Amino acid sequence: MLFISDVCVGKAMDYGYHVSLAQIMMVGLSAEEHTCHAEQDSVALLALKTNDLNQREDRQAFLQQYHQIFSLPKKFDFQPHKDDSVSCCILYTNRTNIK
């Protein structure tokens, strides 16, 4: 025998399930919408930054940041050993360039 109270409990259980399922789906949908908006914002920011690129300023900033690496080395001062002389060294350099 089926009582009216049993039918009401069954409907209440179905209603709770569907409400919970609907809330879960709304949370998922909200997360998807947030992800889409965040992606659109990041694409817009990337497009803006791409248009703002300036090769000269970027190059200058890079060289200033790493100036020790890209600066010219100190001038080499010849220090003779025993009977070495500067003219001897220049002659040797010229001979190697001639070959």
Residue pLDDT tens, the chain, 99 long: 555 555 555 565 666 777 888 899 999 999 999 999 999 999 999 999 999 899 999 999 999 999 888 888 888 777 777 777 666 545 455 555 554
Q: Look at the block and give the residue holding tokens 């109270």.
A: 5
Q: Per the domain annotation, does 66 fall within a domain? A: yes
Q: Per the domain annotation, does 83 fall within a domain? A: no
* pLDDT at 11 (0 to 100): 60
CA distance 8 to 15: 10
Q: How many domains does the chain have?
A: 1
> CA of 39: how far to CAs of 9, 26, 31, in Å?
45, 20, 12
* pLDDT at 74 (0 to 100): 81
Residues 64/53, Cβ–Cβ less than 8 Å: no
* pLDDT at 99 (0 to 100): 47
Q: Per the domain annotation, does 75 fall within a domain? A: no
Q: Per the domain annotation, does 11 fall within a domain? A: yes
Domain span at residue 3? 1-70
